[in-house]
A and B are shown apart, each in its own frame.
Chain A
């Protein structure tokens, strides 16, 4: 694949994940309600899923 397209692919990943994280924190600050257990579990699950994928590649 073209390097520019790969770079855009990476940018889109960072953008979508980053926006989700930043908006959650921003919302938490704005409302004064701390991160809920559900939100925390959700990001931890996403993290573990990615780490598991990397582990499978790493062998």
Chain B
């Protein structure tokens, strides 16, 4: 009979092997061009989102916590899209100064939005910290 422990050890050994292979082939990769950096950041957001989803599906995160992560990730994704658009516009043969200025305005708006989000999150954390401390 196959026990839970044996299955666990087998899976762990498999993951260890996979990680060893991954580390030996991918450990020194650093994005070099702006497109590679944009790609890597999009991948990072995707990975964090997937991890959050998995943890929620396994009952390790509450809906409120998922909402918190979602707000942060969607803001980051929005800003990344604006930055990407700015990059593509600056490299486009049809780019104009006015297009670039428009995009800079949008990126500034996104930064302001992120700042507001961080301020709200900090206030929220401070409040929950105070209420916990009071108890």
Contacts and interface: CB of A to CB of B under 8 A. Distances in A.
Contacts of A10: 51, 54-55
Majority SS at the chain A contact face:
helix
Nearest to A55: B70
Interface stretch (B35-43, B100-108, B113-121, B125-133): B35-43
Interface in B44-62: 44-47, 49-56, 58-60
Contacts, number: 124
A11 B39 contact: no
Interface residues of A, number: 41
A37 B29 CA distance: 21
Contacts of B74: 51, 55
Contact of A51 (B31, B58, B67, B73): B73
Residue of A22, A43, A54 contacting most chain B CB atoms (<10 Å): A54
